[in-house]
Structure 1
Amino acid sequence: MSERESMPYDLVIVGGGPAGLSAAIRAKQEAQRLGVELSVCILEKGSEIGAHILSGAVVDPKALDELLPEWRTMDSPLTVPVTENHHWVLTETKKYDFPHALLPPFMQNKGCYTVSLGNLCRWLATQAEAHGVEIFPGFAAAEVLFNDDGSVKGVATGDMGIAKDGTKKDSWTPGLEIHAKYTFFAEGARGHLSKQIINRFDLRKDAQPQIYGIGLKELWDIDPAKHVPGRVIHSQGWPLSDANGGGFLYHQANGQVALGFSVWLNYDNPHLSPFEEFQRWKTHPAIREILQGGRRVSYGARAINDGGWQAVPQLSFPGGALIGCSAGFLNVPRLKGSHTAMKTGMMAAECAVAAIAAQRSGDRLAEYDAAYKKSWVHDELKMVRNVLPAVEKFGTTIGTAMGGIMMWMEYLGYELPFTFKLTPDNTHMRKKDEAPKIVYPKPDGVISFDRLSSVFLSNTNHEEDQPCHLTLKDPSVPVEVNYALYDEPAQRYCPAGVYEIVGVEENAPRLQINAQNCVHCKTCDIKDMTQNINWVVPEGGGGPNYPNM
């Protein structure tokens, strides 16, 4: 008999991000409209709502207008509308402004806001609680539970107080089973339970592989004379040469700028470091000029879904649904995904409440898949489906030009008769001797910094005496394959210094995993060539504690 206690709910949502919170609010709204009682809870692995949320962010309020039409009078954190749009093409020393008039209207950011997505989630949490939603931060969903018929029964939170060696400490407490009529997975990009659900129910059978980027971000307090609230800057080009990606710099509230850099994880040079590319990008004269005299106050990193329309899997399964970035709804050319995540959560909630009102439970919410295919989310993603693959296939210059032409054609109603294919990121990597080595400049401690001082600013913390949540399927692979053939790229693609090859001088190399540094970005789970790394949740409450990222 299980030592775990159980709690029943009508709807359980794993993840307190934009999708999960929007689903919870809409579920309560629908229940009130239909006159049915509905219990809803959200499990959030971070220490609080927003602790693990990281995004640029420029938010399109389209979904928020549908969810809470009066939000502008409800003291929301969306207070800085976008006032300027700039797109820079960078060389090592110069910048060239790309004319926005050449872009379709939906790329103009008109009516959008620059904001901390973490703070938006904190505000949405207060709205959810006001609707009667129960929110449990610090509770990591560690296991999917199944009914005898194979449908999802709910989830179980992880045990607390397990030592590194797997024994129970004096502080041990068993996890809690949360049973539900329907369970929504809103874990964000590469959610570890969502990954299991996708595989178990073969949800990707009609979809292409999901592909990803890694996004790195910092917050800076800058010289007030240089701050222009609502100014939005995106860049492409330098410093990337054998990879794709780009930078952003958003002038937000309180004299701060949010800046960051993304690198698509299809790069094939094992010597490339996304973190170092970000630090080098900040030294460009145009970026340095903005930051000079300022102070860095926060740092973080997160994987980003880049696959788009053709990589969206089947969304429903017996007993639940995938919502938000667990399925992957980022509009890559627009660099926006919060509005699409929120809308998918709302659609799933409407379908689940209707099913519960009809005395259903545990079945597949096929209505949700149908609703998605009729929604503006589907249409928006389909319109830009070939842009990223074009850049990937034909390079930055030709691919960007092709992508722009294809966006205009789709916008004007000429639907293209083809969709480019995607290939998994882990399949892209040259051997260490086949790729040029990259010599990165040393950080100056003023504009550029090292990884460990950066991780310090993420407020990352884990209970050290617990099993490592970065698990290896085969412990021999990191040295015998990854290090021998590729110089172990995990040492460089991890933005937090988690993976190190030590013992080289003694001719006894081994992989050291500094799990306490992990910022939960999931890059290792994605990019590892042999898919030998499996990221699982640590104890609830562990990881970064982002204040307003």
Structure 2
Amino acid sequence: MTDMQRESMEYDVVIVGGGPAGLSAAIRLKQLDADLQVVLLEKGSEVGAHILSGAVLDPCGLDALIPDWKEKGAPITVPVREDNFYMLGEAGQVRVPNWPMPKLMNNHGNYIVSMGNVCRWMAEQAEALGVEIFPGMACSEIVYGENGEVRGVVAGEFGKNPDGTKGDGYEPGMELLGKYVFLGEGVRGSLSKEVIGKFNLSDGHEPQKYGLGMKEIWEIDPAKHREGTVTHTMGWPLGSNAGGGSFIYHLENNQVYVGFVVHLNYKNPYLYPYMEFQRFKHHPMVAELLKGGKRVAYGARAISEGGYQSMPKMVAPGVALLGCSVGMVNVPRIKGNHNAMLSGKAAAEAAHEAIKAGRASDELIAYETDVRDGAIGKDLKKVRNVKPLWSKYGLTASLALGGFDMWTNELLGLSLFGTQKHGKNDAEATEKVYSHKPIDYPKPDGTLSFDRLTNVSFSFTNHEESQPAHLKLKNPEVPIAENLPKFDEPAQRYCPAGVYEVVREEGKEPRFVINFQNCVHCKTCDIKDPSQNIHWTVPQGGDGPNYPNM
């Protein structure tokens, strides 16, 4: 506990994070009981500012939450009309037919959306029901009760000096306390990470696995635009260097989402995920689509990929983890928003029943049961082996094995592979430099491909520079003393925003520099650093990217 006195406010439920999971929980709580006191805290400058997703949305989560979403004007208006899948080589591509793919891979009935805009609309629905929503309020600490239970969070701390001392305009923040606290921070949230560690929630579960997703919005030549077309690719340029692939989604207004995902269990420390993305756009098929167009936005975020066997225990006294805080992405479908919504709904129903029964600050076991045994568990269990098979056997073999496994799960409800394990976490997967050769990446041309700092300006990221860096080194000596000789300090490559630099000046020792102002809050550093020396925390509220239509 700190020695300062903070004001506090009491609620029935305190929700951290204005993504699809947190907003769904807030809406459902008020649907069940209009008198419940519900507050939602969002670190972005507005709801949606930090939301980045593909996204092709399976509307089943929204159907369950707000069945009349079409009548209520949800920004979900571009149905998928065409579904393409290609294997790329450097100079060409091969179309993979749709017919051998399991039914679950079909995008019929799904929609191309901006999840940022969907969340903005969901926030309007929540506020209309009486939910208190406070954007620009980063939650920096957990508040624990006398028995170690989670009682609330500290939000809205502002005005610290770069060294962490209190500045002239320091504001200590407020304690927001609840009978239950829901953490819907997204992937690798700092409070969720603390709760998982404190209550050993990962014990007995596989390590979580991650990918790095990077995305640009392009305005293209109207003659090339095909609204409702969904294209996924695998293969070049990653090859055997890493797992991953791309997506190209044609939304309205002659815009396309161009995205690239690199699985973070890659071995070669010289791999540069951002430059793999930029190189991808020079493939003839992609270059022809983008020719004459312009990029209008850029962003990046980590994606949870561990699936069914990596979901930690979701509840501890007073707290529940929602959505990507648990890891509910269906990897082969590249979809998690529907499960995030369903998890928020399930958590709200469990908390409502508990509060109605006079309970508080205990474990919402009913929520965990609902997730594992209900629609979310069924969705993830069918595809649980796709990621580990890919990691073990590579792209080509895993396409056949993973496809076969999904078919047997769909038709027979069982897997001949059992439940495969993931093994190492993504940080441990990084191998030392002597096992690998540097990769020569072509220089961005400024038309199709761009350097990192130029692209970061299209994420509209801003951090107040007088605050302490929100990227903490557990040991400041590690980057140069250990990571540089062993791994050529991969932070200078795996970060998609150019936050980390190794500065070399003649006659001086190399220096490790953290440009935290560039951070787009993707959390890759917290995940992939081979020494696990970087701890991502929240900056002061409102700082970070300001994504328009991601």
TM-score of the two chains, using structure 1 as the length reference: 0.98
**Counterparts of 2:301 and 2:507, CA distance in 1:** 35
Match of 2:314 in 1: 315
**Counterparts of 1:52 and 1:92, CA distance in 2:** 34
**Counterparts of 1:388 and 1:154, CA distance in 2:** 35
Match of 2:4 in 1: 2
Match of 1:15 in 2: 17
Aligned-partner SS, 1:12: strand
1:166 equivalent to 2:133? Answer no
Match of 2:354 in 1: 355
**Counterparts of 2:393 and 2:498, CA distance in 1:** 33
Amino acid at match of 1:361: A
Aligned-partner SS, 1:521: coil
Match of 1:524 in 2: 525
1:165-218 deviation line (CA, Å, top 9, x unaligned) = 223222211111000000000000001100010011111112111010000000
Aligned-partner SS, 2:70: helix
1:87-110 deviation line (CA, Å, top 9, x unaligned) = 010000101100111111110111
Match of 1:408 in 2: 407
**Counterparts of 1:506 and 1:84, CA distance in 2:** 59
The aligned runs of 1:52-451 (5 Å cut-off) are 52-241=50-239, 242-416=241-415, 418-422=418-422, 423-451=424-452
C-alpha deviation, 1:158, in angstroms = 4.7
1:142-163 deviation line (CA, Å, top 9, x unaligned) = 0001100111000001520111
Amino acid at match of 1:385: R
Amino acid at match of 1:227: H
Point out the more displaced range, 364-373 or 341-350. Answer: 364-373
**Counterparts of 2:506 and 2:396, CA distance in 1:** 43
Amino acid at match of 1:86: N
Q: Is the 8 A contact 1:115 1:253 kept in 2?
A: no
TM-score of the two chains, using structure 2 as the length reference: 0.98
Q: Unmatched 5+ residue regions in structure 2?
A: none
**Counterparts of 1:184 and 1:354, CA distance in 2:** 15
1:43-70 deviation line (CA, Å, top 9, x unaligned) = 1000000000001100000010010000
C-alpha deviation, 1:374, in angstroms = 2.3
C-alpha deviation, 1:320, in angstroms = 1.5
**Counterparts of 1:506 and 1:178, CA distance in 2:** 52
C-alpha deviation, 1:414, in angstroms = 4.3
Q: Which runs of 4+ in 1 moved over 4 A?
A: none
**Counterparts of 2:463 and 2:26, CA distance in 1:** 28
Aligned-partner SS, 2:197: helix
Match of 1:26 in 2: 28
C-alpha deviation, 1:490, in angstroms = 0.3
C-alpha deviation, 1:253, in angstroms = 1.6
C-alpha deviation, 1:504, in angstroms = 5.0
Aligned-partner SS, 1:71: coil
Q: Is the 8 A contact 1:82 1:114 kept in 2?
A: yes
Aligned-partner SS, 1:22: helix
**Counterparts of 2:100 and 2:218, CA distance in 1:** 31
Q: Is the 8 A contact 1:270 1:431 kept in 2?
A: yes
Aligned-partner SS, 2:427: helix
C-alpha deviation, 1:507, in angstroms = 4.1
What is the total number of aligned residue pairs between the two structures?
545
Q: Is the 8 A contact 1:217 1:261 kept in 2?
A: yes
Aligned-partner SS, 1:395: helix
**Counterparts of 1:507 and 1:431, CA distance in 2:** 25
Point out the more displaced range, 94-103 or 427-436. Answer: 427-436
Q: Unmatched 5+ residue regions in structure 1?
A: none
**Counterparts of 2:445 and 2:174, CA distance in 1:** 48
Aligned-partner SS, 1:466: coil
Q: Percent identity?
A: 55
**Counterparts of 1:197 and 1:243, CA distance in 2:** 31
Aligned-partner SS, 2:78: coil
Amino acid at match of 1:486: F
C-alpha deviation, 1:373, in angstroms = 2.3
Q: Is the 8 A contact 1:503 1:509 kept in 2?
A: yes
1:282-314 deviation line (CA, Å, top 9, x unaligned) = 000000111000010000000000000000111
CA-atom RMSD in angstroms: 0.9
**Counterparts of 2:74 and 2:507, CA distance in 1:** 57
Aligned-partner SS, 2:146: coil
C-alpha deviation, 1:2, in angstroms = 3.2
Amino acid at match of 2:419: T
Amino acid at match of 1:322: L
Q: Is the 8 A contact 1:143 1:158 kept in 2?
A: no
C-alpha deviation, 1:254, in angstroms = 1.5
Aligned-partner SS, 2:33: helix
Aligned-partner SS, 2:432: coil
**Counterparts of 2:505 and 2:434, CA distance in 1:** 18
Match of 1:472 in 2: 473
